[in-house]
Amino acid sequence: MAFEDQRTTVYKVNPEHPESETLPTLRTEELLLNMGPQHPSTHGVLKVILELEGERLVKSTPVMGYLHRGVEKLAEDGTYHQFIPHTDRLDYVCAMYNNFAYCRAVEKLLNLQVPERAEYLRTIVAEVQRIIGHQFWLSAQALDIGAMTVFFYCFRDREILLDWFDELCGARLTTSWYRIGGVERDLTPTLIDKLKQFLDYFPPKIDEYQVFLEKNRIWLGRTKGVAVISAEDAVSFGLSGPVLRGSGVDYDLRKYEPYSAYPKCEFSVPVGKNGDTYDRYWIRVMELYESVKIIRQCLEQMQDGPIMADAPSVTLPPKERVFTNLEAMIQQFKLFSQGFDAPPGEIYCGTEAHKGELGFHIVSTGGGKPYRLKIRAPSFIHMGAFDHMARGYMISDACTIFGTYDIVMGECDR
């Protein structure tokens, strides 16, 4: 035997065939394999203990919390405004959407109306962020599975939008551009021109991404029929976003609990059929086209107007005024040292981020700080279905499944 080893080989004697004494049979046992927390395809620091039978996954146990920073506890110590930069660090790939979801939740608590132009601006930037998120997802998933080229093409186009963010708010990733009651600053004409240029440039590029993948036999072989989840199971696990829609469940908060400028835009929600990795890929690519459509409509419909709600007791004064006007400075100081007086109550507000439903459950007892703030993070909830979806597939498919959730550990561990 080429790999005979006294420690792992057990000699069995079959009484009916005594000659088998000379033929060693290899001992079989279940193998535990630690994948991560430093594995490049786990998208951060996630460890999964894989129980293997040969190369098949029998059971997988996610071990999370390596990036746990106690964000929910921190929220109880700061004012509502001070928590906005913390939300950037949840899903650090798509900071804008986290800001958006959080600000919406606080506005629901305060019953605050956001002016129309601000709603359009919010929708535009959120959809730009969705494009960035899906590009990042596509590049990372393709890279994990072994299609490297598309990674460079996605990152080339993502760079244009990140530079656009940089010009918009001074940061590429941790943006903090949304404010409770509106947005921090308006789009300049240059930014609008650049965005329009991008909208003309981008759709042919989406076709280009697809060319790399849709005729790639390795990509098809590793996504079609992999990590299948039925509609009932997906609903029961609480999956959301493209992962749920891939199983054929039409659930998109932008459509069914419309917010911001989404009800004024026409767009469709792509829904898959088979619930496999390929369908989830297809949905995300189709959503890129839809995002372009939404941004175009918003740019056309947007009228001039204020970008911040007229509620001085809650909203931050414009920065120019803080430096020139005494009342504005006092207001800024009061809002950051004491916060505004939120009404006592309890709300939950979910927003359709590109990964799924990102929700904030806020309990207020009055005063400037949230009494309890709970973040419903799609990545965390998707990990709950990991064992169910990975069972019976190969080790290499585990990477595909991490990828198909679009998991980001900052949001998963919080």
What is the contact surface with another protein in residues (CB under 8 A)? 64-65, 68, 70, 72-73, 76-77, 108-109, 111, 232-233, 235-239, 249, 251, 256-257, 345-348, 350, 357, 359, 361, 363, 371-372, 374, 376, 380-381, 383-385, 388, 413-414
Residue located via tokens 């980001």: 408
| Cα gap 20→139, rounded to integer Å | 53
| Cα gap 74→27, rounded to integer Å | 52
Instruction: Output the smallest distance, CB 237 to another protein, in A.
Output: 4
Residues β-bridged to residue 9:
26
Count other Cβ atoms within 10 Å, centred on residue 215: 9
Q: How far is CA 290 from CA 199, 216, 242, in A?
A: 11, 24, 13
Q: Which helix (H) or strand (E) holds 359?
A: strand 357-364
The helix-helix angle for 149-169 and 189-214 (nearest 10°) equals 170
**Burial label, 25 (beta-carbon count in 10 A; 0-12, 13-18, 19+):** exposed
Residues β-bridged to residue 178:
183
CB 244 within 8 A of CB 234: yes
Q: How far is CA 379 from CA 27, 199, 308, 325, 353, in A?
A: 39, 29, 31, 44, 11
> Furthest-apart CA pair in the chain: how many Å?
99
**Burial label, 354 (beta-carbon count in 10 A; 0-12, 13-18, 19+):** buried
Of 297, 307, 93, 94, the C-alpha closest to 196 is: 297
CB 98 within 8 A of CB 90: yes
CA 67 to chain centre: 16
Residue located via tokens 């904030």: 360
